[in-house]
Amino acid sequence: MDTLAYVVYGLPCALLVLWGVSRRRRLERRSARAQEHSGAAEPASLHPVIDPTRCIGCGSCLKACPEQAHHPVLGLIGGRAVLTSPGDCIGHGACKAACPVNAITLVFGSERRGVDIPLISPEFESSVPGIFIAGELGGMGLIRNALEQGRQAIESIARRRMTDGRLDVVIVGAGPAGFAATLTAKSRGLRYVTLEQESLGGAVFQYPRGKLVMTAPATVPLLGTVNFRQTSKEDLLSFWQKAERSSGVTINYRERVEDISPAGDGFTVKTNAGTYTTRSVLLAIGRRGSPRKLGVPGEDMPKVVYRLIDPEQYVGKEVLVVGGGDSALEAAASIAEEPGCAGVVLSYRGAQFDRAKGRNRDRIQSASSGGRLKVLMSSNVKRIGAGAVSIEHGGATVDLHNDAVIVSAGGVLPSDFLRRVGIHVETKYGVE
C-alpha cells in the first residue's frame, strides 16, 4: 500500500520537479543568448540594477516587465535575475515593484554613459519654485509615464491656484506630457496657455512613418483610459488629434519660447509671438532640444536633414545616415528596406552600436547582408558636397556619391536654457 501511494503521489511530484528544472534551464539558456546578442548595449533611460546578493531568482521581475513578451529585457543566469537586453529597457519600473526582496534599484545612466537630469521634487517642481518639469526632459521616455507626469504636475499646480488675474500655468510642449497636462488644466478649470514650436505629439510626431510606439494604459482627464499596447505613429497621432478636437483644448502651434524670467512670485514667458505673465510654468519639452550637428563644411545644404519622416521620399537616391543610436539605425534600415532603394551608407564614429536596441541592430545586419546598406564603423564625415560626401574611415578619406544626408546624432539637451532659467541639472552615472 505504501509503495502504491509513493507511486501515485510521488511520481507526479517528481515529474513536476523535473519539468520545472528543465524549464528553468531553457530560460537560462535563452537569457544567456539574449545577453550575448545585446553585446555592449547601454540602457537609454531609467533602468534596473539588480543586487545579486539579495536576488533569490524567483523570476517575479520577468513576469512583471511589460516589455518582456516582445523583448528579453530581463533574464535569469546563474540563478539570479540580470538585465539581458539593456537597450530594450524603457523604464517601466514594474520590475522593482514586483521584487519581493527589494533587490532592484532604478537608476539613470551608467558608469560609461552619464545622463543629465534636472532635479525635481515628488510634485515635479524643479529647483526653481513655480517651474515644473514632466516627461522625457526629467528622464522618463515612456509615453505612459509622460502622460501620468503631465497630469500629476498640473494637479500639483492646481492645488496652489490663486485668483489674481494671471495665468495659472504656461505649458511648454505638446508631446505626451504636455498634451496630458493641457487636458488636465482644462478639466480643472485652470487659466492656461500651451505653446508648441512644432506639431502635436512632440517627439512622437518626429518618429519615422509607421514606427511602432510602445505604451501602456494611462488615465487622462477628458479622455479616460488611454489603452494602447502597440500602435503605429499614425494611429496614435490620429487618436490625439481627435481628442484635441473633441475636448476643445487650445494649443498655440509654431510658437517658440525664447525666455522665462522671474516676475514677482511668478514668471514672464517671452515667445516669438508674444509675452505671457503666469504663476507657474510646466516644461514638457523633451530631451532632444536642438539636433546635434556635425560641424563640417556643407552641412547647411538643403539636402541635409536631422530626422527621417518618410522613407519613400528617398527612393532612387543614395543616402548617408550619420549616427549610432536607435533613430539612426531605424532611419537607415527603413530606407534600405524600401523597394527601389538606390543605396544607403550608415556612418558611425563608434566601434559598435552600444546605444541601439537588438532588433534595430538585427535590421541593420539583414540590410547589410542583403547588399542594400553599407556600414562604416569608426568613421567621421569630413565634408558634404552637392553630389558627394567625404568620410574618414580606416585611416583614409573616401569620397562617396550622395544625394541626401540624414544626421541622427541625437539632440543637445537644452541645458544652457535650463541653467539660464536657474534650474539645476545633475549628471547621473548609474545612480538613483
Residues 241-287 pLDDT 10s: 888 888 889 899 989 888 999 998 899 999 999 999 999 999 988 76
User: What pLDDT is recorded for position 17?
Assistant: 67
Report which secondary-structure segment, H or E, holds 162: none
Least reliable range by pLDDT among 274-278, 332-336, 395-399, 409-413? 409-413
CA distance 408 to 332: 10
Q: Which residues in 285-429 belong to E strands, given as ranges?
A: 290-291, 304-305, 318-322, 343-347, 373-376, 379-384, 388-393, 396-401, 404-407, 411-412, 425-428
Please name which of 409, 363, 385 lies closest in space to residue 318, comparing C-alpha atoms.
385
User: What pLDDT is recorded for position 9?
Assistant: 62
* 383, 390 Cβ separation under 8 angstroms: yes
Averaged pLDDT, 103-117: 77
Q: With cut-offs at 50, 70 and 90, classify the pLDDT of residue 291.
A: confident
CA distance 13 to 16: 5
CA distance 388 to 318: 10
Residues 74-107 pLDDT 10s: 888 888 888 888 777 777 778 888 899 999 888 8
Cα–Cα distances (Å) from 355 to 73, 141, 324, 343, in that order, read 14, 15, 7, 24
CA distance 137 to 139: 5
**Bigger pLDDT: 338 vs 108:** 338
Mean pLDDT score of the chain: 83
Q: Which residues in 203-250 belong to E strands, given as ranges?
A: 212-214, 218-220, 224-226, 230-232
Q: With cut-offs at 50, 70 and 90, classify the pLDDT of residue 71.
A: confident
Domains observed in the chain? 28-107 (3.30.70.20), 115-289+413-428 (3.50.50.60), 304-410 (3.50.50.60)
User: What pLDDT is recorded for position 44?
Assistant: 66
- Is the C-alpha dihedral spanning 365, 370, 373, 374 positive or negative? positive
Would you say residue 212 has pLDDT above 70? no
Residues 218-229 pLDDT 10s: 777 777 777 666
Q: Is 187 helix (H, G, I), strand (E, B) or coil?
A: helix
Share of the chain above pLDDT 90, in %: 30
Share of the chain above pLDDT 70, in %: 85
Residues 365-383 pLDDT 10s: 999 988 889 999 999 999 9
91: left (phi over 0), alpha (psi -120 to 50) or beta: left
Would you say residue 12 has pLDDT above 60? yes
CA distance 147 to 221: 10
- 191 residue type, one letter: R
